[in-house]
């Protein structure tokens, strides 16, 4: 990848998209086309100070591409409807499946390498494990319409006879880090826990409704957003085998570990209160996720991941405590 080549980032005003934009800037990539619905004012600070050529509304991107053939050299497609509590599948189908197909076809027709966001939500309850092996993709049973839409696109992509010159679908696990102020209920547990601690000195965590797990010992693979951006850039630069790649740390940790890391960073005593998991998500709740990272490591990615404690410390001290953006 040359610093002079034009790169498109979709979902650029969002959490991971805006972080990736800043991360690309830090490596000298400034010929960026940012694609999103830029009407949400809460997202505006995510792009403050970022360097790019142009912002294009997501509805207008394909017309722009047709009018500017040959300009775009790479696409990071991170734009999606990410609200896991949105139960209208039509909404997810429009943005996570149909729009992604258009991105794929644009990349295929114009010979543009593509890295896109899939999700660990595709794994559902983990009946088939958490391996990014392509053979299990059609068997997966996501727990909500968001996960279904992401898995449907993975299935579609794997079935295509024509494809971009390089493509990778990244199954993001529990990503946390700066630039998620706008996400409300969908922000990471770390974001919400930090604010609860600052306000009341305690954290509310969901009680376990599964006899196999104690309260607070539900387990997730938490990955710091900086590691996600590192993986995105590495894949585009090295372009290993096409396919799906898990994007986690491979080391699951409990929610209790997570909030205790926040208390420790803030030099405060640990104080956790357990509350019932809301009825609307209780039967769709994942109690365990852990990325099998063998494929990405075998492809050559060997950068160490942030530990949960180090990621929490950087996020809390460097950003949340200051109200800062990356």
Under 8 Å between Cβ of 112 and 73: yes
Q: Do the domain assignments include residue 281?
A: no
pLDDT at position 286, please? Answer: 82
SS3 content of the chain, % helix, strand, coil (to 5): 45, 15, 40
Is 183 a known active-site residue? yes
Task: Please name which of 164, 127, 128, 121 lies closest in space to residue 143, comparing C-alpha atoms.
Answer: 121
Q: Do the domain assignments include residue 119?
A: yes
pTM of the predicted structure, to 2 decimals: 0.96
For residue 160, what are the domain limits? 6-176+222-250+291-305
Measured over the CA atoms of residue 6, residue 7, residue 12 and residue 16, the dihedral's sign is negative
**End-to-end Cα, the chain, rounded Å:** 23
Q: Do the domain assignments include residue 75?
A: yes
Is 146 a known active-site residue? yes
CA-CA-CA-CA torsion for 189, 83, 21, 302, nearest 10 degrees?
A: 60
The residue from 19, 146, 245, 326 that is catalytic is 146
Q: Do the domain assignments include residue 321?
A: no
Number of structural domains (the chain) is 1
Q: Do the domain assignments include residue 320?
A: no
Q: Is 213 exposed, middle or buried (0-12, 13-18, 19+ CB in 10 A)?
A: middle
CATH number (domain holding residue 101): 3.40.50.720
The residue from 55, 93, 183, 251 that is catalytic is 183
The low-confidence residues of the chain, meaning pLDDT below 70, are none
Q: Do the domain assignments include residue 265?
A: no
pLDDT at position 185, please? Answer: 87
Helices (H), the chain: 15-26, 61-67, 89-92, 99-110, 145-159, 189-200, 225-238, 255-265, 279-282, 294-299, 308-318
Q: Do the domain assignments include residue 196?
A: no
């Amino acid at each position: 990848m040359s610093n002079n080549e034009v790169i498109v980032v979709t979902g650029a005003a969002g959490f991971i998209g805006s972080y990736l934009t800043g991360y690309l800037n830090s490596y000298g990539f400034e010929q960026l086309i940012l694609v999103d619905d830029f009407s949400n004012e809460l997202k505006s600070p995510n792009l403050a100070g970022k360097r790019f050529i142009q912002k294009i509304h997501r509805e207008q991107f394909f017309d722009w591409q047709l009018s500017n053939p040959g300009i775009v050299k790479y696409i990071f497609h991170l734009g999606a409807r990410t609200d896991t509590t949105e139960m209208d599948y039509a909404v997810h189908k429009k943005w996570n499946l149909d729009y992604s197909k258009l991105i794929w076809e644009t990349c295929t027709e114009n010979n543009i390498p593509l890295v896109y966001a899939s999700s660990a939500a595709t794994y559902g309850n983990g009946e088939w494990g958490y391996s990014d092996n392509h053979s299990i993709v059609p068997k997966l049973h996501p727990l909500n319409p968001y996960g279904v839409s992401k898995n449907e696109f993975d299935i579609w992509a794997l079935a295509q006879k024509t494809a971009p010159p390089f493509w990778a679908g990244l199954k993001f696990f529990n990503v946390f880090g700066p630039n998620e102020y706008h996400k409300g209920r969908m922000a990471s547990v770390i974001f919400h826990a930090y604010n609860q601690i600052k306000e009341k000195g305690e954290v509310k965590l969901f009680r376990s409704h599964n006899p196999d797990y104690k309260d607070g010992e539900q387990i997730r693979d938490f990955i710091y957003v900086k590691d996600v951006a590192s993986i995105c850039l590495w894949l585009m630069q090295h372009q290993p085998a096409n396919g799906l790649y898990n994007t986690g740390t491979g080391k699951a940790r409990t929610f209790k570990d997570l909030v205790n890391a926040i208390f420790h960073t803030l030099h405060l005593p640990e104080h956790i209160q357990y509350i019932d998991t809301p009825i609307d998500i209780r039967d769709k709740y994942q109690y365990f996720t852990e990325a099998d990272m063998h494929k990405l490591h075998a492809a050559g990615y060997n950068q160490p991941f942030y530990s949960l404690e180090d990621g929490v410390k950087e996020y809390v001290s460097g950003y949340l405590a200051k109200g800062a953006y990356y």
